[in-house]
Structure 1
Amino acid sequence: MRKWSPFKNHPNIYTYQTAKGKRFAVRRGFTNVLGKKDEFTKSGFKNWREAEIVLKKFESDLALNKFDNLASEKVTLQKTWEMMKDEKKRLGKWRPSTEESQINNYLIYIKNPLGNKSLSQIKRPVVQKWLDSLSTQNLAHDTIRSAYGTLSQIINYAVNTELIGSNRIRGLDYTGKDPKDKSIEPIDFNRWMKCAEAVLNNADYAMIVVMANTGMRRGEVTGLRTTAVTIKENELTREKFAMIDINFQRSVNNPNGAKLKTKSSYRKIAVTDETTNYLQEAIDIAEARRKKGHKSPNAIPWLWVKEDGDPVSVFHLRYLCQVVSNKCGIHMHPHMFRHYFATETIANGVPQIDVMHYLGHSSVQMTADYTRPTENASLNVSKGFTPTDTVPYGTINRVPSNVP
């Protein structure tokens, strides 16, 4: 490397010799937007005036915090993602479920194709090509939208931290498969539940019944503890019922439990005597298994445990649904129970706002989005329509049948 010598009376401007003669360069230290020591250099100027113009421009940008081009050339999308993720966790901006989905989106769909690119390379044509490649992978439209949303969050963070000047990837188009049909007819649902009762043990079937009869999310069901269930008796009818305090969930990234998805997810719900009986049976089984497995009295009193007293896997409900679906030939996965619960309760006349609070939704619109059209519901609508009475109109001349 050629030796640079300071140019007298011109701070941060240097000279060096080349085969074509004397040349000038700029070297200026500064603290970048990442809070680290950095250096701006530029060379190849034929005279000191050209070098000084570039230096003055840089110092003006430095004073105005305009480092978009410089930072975007050096900082990768991976580095920006790590910075954003750390900030979200530090400030508590992400709930566990949000963090899990964002991490999954980045690791599965974004990291390999885009992670090593500098921010300056994340341009519309590059991102459009990435979106097109996701579309060719037979992914659902909602999956691609979610991945695109995560990438947009990273770019917005880069803008807010002045790593780049603007979000250049807004409003891109993409396709994808239609979402899977989450509807099921009551006759098929009842047949599926009968099959589940026949092939599952008491504890596992109780788990399915509680999920089906409450519409709880999978993570909320697996996150239940015996202390979250309070069994009571109606003073007038003497019927048993239970109150369930839903304030915990388990997931792949948080197998030992974590906070719920949203503020509205925290709720207490009541269940009828049928579901109460299954809850009581599950409590008895859990306590017996913990005792048999010599678990500490201070251990988390999970409601759903294995034979040794340890909590069931976070995938256990999915596994049970797969076993029963394969046996009876009717496909059901855990989240379909939530859609079915919303559809049936509203179809049976329960006010949407009550269903909203019961399911832990943040709006009535979200609850409405969970309902699915079924043949049974369609017939109920048809039966609810009263046709016009067929009263004779008097003397009429009927339209001839041969009129075109």
Structure 2
Amino acid sequence: MENVKVYLHLFVEYLQIEKNYSQYTVVSYVSDIEDFFLFMNEQVIHQLKDITYHDIRLYLTTLHTKKYSRRTISKKISSLRSFFKFLVRENALSDNPFLLVSLPKRELIIPNFLYEEEINKLFTISDCEKPLGQRNQALIEVLYGTGIRVSECCQIQLTDIDMSIGTILINGKGGKQRYVPIGSYAHDAISLYIRQGRDKLLGKLNQAKHHSYLFVNNRGEPLSDRGIRYILNDMIKRTSLTLQIHPHMFRHTFATHLLNEGADMRSVQELLGHAHLSSTQVYTHVTKDHLKRTYMRHHPRA
């Protein structure tokens, strides 16, 4: 399709420079847009101005036929709507046909979280006399104690941590930074790991490859998302728990436990680094049982 590659390149620059989106988000946008234009080529439509509402509806039908979830379809349409809005801004088109398309209602995905007794078991697994045990203890204390994303956890540098006031500088999505507090348990676990375990693990690296990442693997290299997932699954195997765990569950657990204990929504939103309150509100459903118990316990007519 004429000029699509040129405009897509300009759109990528717009997302990176003006919107300050992460590389992961930009790649996702590009994938959605390229998928749509591949479909348009199959329909023998080669002019941007020739794309109509009917063509978009046909594309949506194809996505439904391929059994894409409503969430995925909604994301694709949102990406295309943004791209065509950009095309109008650049005077490549006079109007945006995607404005006529309503996004499918998204399914309510209930986040999984750990109960207090479950997470307490994880805190008793690590052998804190050994370097890897010290690292693992510091890792789960940070994940649960701050609610940060796993990708954010992997990027923590030693210089991001201020032990004197108990905060960590987090580099979040879209280059946004925020400070998160760390509690006494995380503070002590990090201190022990930095003083002892990290240096021993880092000692396995060639001096020239030394770095300032907080969390390292058993070879002294920076710990990856995949490495964190492996560590957590290994810890679960060494408990009596039978649940399936993924790193993001610590983030869900952090938010759920805060709300259950009466934290206000805005504070939790800021701690999680959510741009919109609606992203935080998904956690309120898990507090309903807590509210019901409180009502039954305290209301005189319960």
Q: Quick one: distance in 1 between partners of 2:9 and 2:139?
A: 38
Q: Quick one: distance in 2 between partners of 1:310 and 1:243?
A: 24
Q: 1:251 is matched with which residue?
A: none
Q: Quick one: distance in 1 between partners of 2:199 and 2:252?
A: 32
1:97-144 CA-to-partner distances (Å, cap 9, x unmatched) read 2x422312432x442442455313432222222223333444443332
Change (3 A) 1:80 1:189: farther
Q: Quick one: distance in 2 between partners of 1:171 and 1:188?
A: 50
- 2:253 pairs with 1:329: no
Q: 2:167 is matched with which residue?
A: 243
Change (3 A) 1:174 1:322: farther
Q: Give the number of the structure with larger relative contact order, counting CA–CA contacts within 8 Å between residues 6 or more apart.
A: 2
Change (3 A) 1:143 1:285: farther
Answer whether contact 1:339 1:372 (CA < 8 A) is retained: no
Larger Rg: 1
The count of residues paired between Structure 1 and Structure 2 equals 289
1:229 Cα deviation after fit? 1.7
Quick one: percent identity of the two aligned structures?
A: 19
CA RMSD, aligned part only? 3.3
Higher helix share: 2
Q: 2:10 is matched with which residue?
A: 83
- Report which stretch shifted further, 364-373 or 334-343: 364-373
Taking structure 2 as the reference length, what is the TM-score of the superposition?
0.79
Taking structure 1 as the reference length, what is the TM-score of the superposition?
0.61
- 2:264 pairs with 1:351: yes
Answer whether contact 1:102 1:150 (CA < 8 A) is retained: no
1:180 Cα deviation after fit? 3.8
1:273 Cα deviation after fit? 1.8
Q: 2:178 is matched with which residue?
A: 267
1:353 Cα deviation after fit? 3.2
Q: Quick one: distance in 2 between partners of 1:170 and 1:311?
A: 44
Answer whether contact 1:305 1:312 (CA < 8 A) is retained: yes
Q: What letter is aligned with 2:178?
A: R
Higher strand share: 1
1:94 aligned to which of 19, 23, 28:
19
Q: Quick one: distance in 1 between partners of 2:185 and 2:215?
A: 18
SS class of match (2:100): coil
- 2:291 pairs with 1:367: no
Equivalence map 1:139-218=2 (5 Å): 139-173=68-102, 175=104, 178-184=107-113, 186=115, 189-190=118-119, 193=122, 197=126, 201-202=132-133, 203-218=135-150
Answer whether contact 1:242 1:272 (CA < 8 A) is retained: yes
Which runs of no fewer than 5 residues in structure 1 stay unpaired?
A: 1-72, 233-240, 249-259, 390-404
Q: 2:199 is matched with which residue?
A: 287
